[in-house]
């Protein structure tokens, strides 16, 4: 089987705006693992722009990508840090 899981995941993921990604991250931090109805709460915290299933799937995709990076099967992304936080 060729190709990385990461590229497969990108193809299956819905498009997320930078704002949605930020809201998603903030909601995940607030509604930690073990929170009842976590994905519904994260979806609501994002203003309902994504369904609970889309939110859960996005989390699973990111989790899979982290596992691939940590296993050494995918190189750690190289970010341009100059002016990244401006």
For residue 14, give its domain range.
Answer: 5-71
In a domain, 18, yes or no: yes
Q: Residue 59's domain is classified under what CATH number?
A: 1.10.10.60
How many domains in the chain?
1
Determine, yes or no, domain membership for 47: yes
List the pLDDT tens digit at each of the 86 positions of the chain: 344 444 444 445 579 999 999 999 999 999 999 999 999 999 999 999 999 999 999 999 999 988 988 888 877 777 777 665 65
Q: Is residue 20 part of a domain?
A: yes
**Among the listed residues 18, 60, 63, 26, the one whose alpha carbon sits nearest the alpha carbon of residue 42:** 26
Tokens encoding 6: 């990461």
Q: Which two tokens stand for residue 17?
A: 């705006």
**pLDDT of res. 84:** 59
Is 79 within the bounds of a domain? no
């Amino acid at each position: 089987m060729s190709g990385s899981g990461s590229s497969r995941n990108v193809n299956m993921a819905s498009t997320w705006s930078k704002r949605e990604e930020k809201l998603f991250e903030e909601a995940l931090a607030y509604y930690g693992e073990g929170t009842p109805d976590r994905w519904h709460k994260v979806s609501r915290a994002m203003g309902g722009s994504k369904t609970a299933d889309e939110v859960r799937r996005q989390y699973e995709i990111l989790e899979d990508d982290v596992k691939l990076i940590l296993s050494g099967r995918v190189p750690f992304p190289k970010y341009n840090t100059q002016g990244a936080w401006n």
